[in-house]
Structure 1
């Protein structure tokens, strides 16, 4: 069990992936940034998906930068929290890039 959060483009191709084990509280950060807490089923995602607009993903990226104001500096560390922080940032950035090109991105929460 764990949280597998996957972003897809309109063609159904995976463009972003984040993985958290079931005991990793950092998964809740990504759910919160995406305003998708209702997809968090505790030890895993709910199995449902949602389509996010450019504006929603842009808001998640802005919220990430507010939540981790010194993200660039702290990403140089090599602990698991920092790894998760980097994983979250890459996920949101990849979703944002796709949403900008296609107008939206679909995210699956497993």
Structure 2
């Protein structure tokens, strides 16, 4: 079990992917950033798809930067934390690029 979260364009092509183990709290962060808490089902996603507007993805991107720009940069970070921050950023950036072209992006929460 775990969280497999995928973003898709209107043609149905996967444009973003993030994977978290079932007890990784960073999965919850991505759900929160996407304002998609209703798709969080504990050890995995709900298996449902949401269509997220360009505006919602822009809000997620802004929230990401607010959270991580306020982080204490002098505090040591494990490779695990750095990896998760990068995959969250990559996911949101890829979704935003698609939403800017198409107006929205579909996200599967598995």
Q: Shorter chain as normaliser: what TM range?
A: over 0.9
Q: List runs of 5+ in structure 2 lacking aligned partners.
A: none
> What is the CA deviation profile of residues 1-20 of structure 1, one whole-angstrom value per residue up to 9, with x for unaligned ones?
00000000000000000000
Distance in 2, matches of 1:55 and 1:16, equals: 17
Structure 2 match to 1:100: 100
Q: Secondary structure at the match of 1:68?
A: helix
TM-score (norm 2): 0.92
Residue 46 (structure 1) aligned with residue 12 (structure 2): no
Residue 12 (structure 1) aligned with residue 19 (structure 2): no
Distance in 1, matches of 2:26 and 2:19, equals: 10
Q: List runs of 5+ in structure 1 lacking aligned partners.
A: none
Q: In angstroms, what is the RMSD of aligned CA positions? A: 1.5
Runs ≥4 in structure 1, deviation > 2 angstroms?
A: none
> What is the CA deviation profile of residues 25-71 of structure 1, one whole-angstrom value per residue up to 9, with x for unaligned ones?
11000000000011000000000010011100000000000111167
TM-score (norm 1): 0.92
Number of residues paired by the alignment?
Answer: 107
Distance in 1, matches of 2:67 and 2:48, equals: 26
Deviation at 1:78, TM superposition (A): 5.7
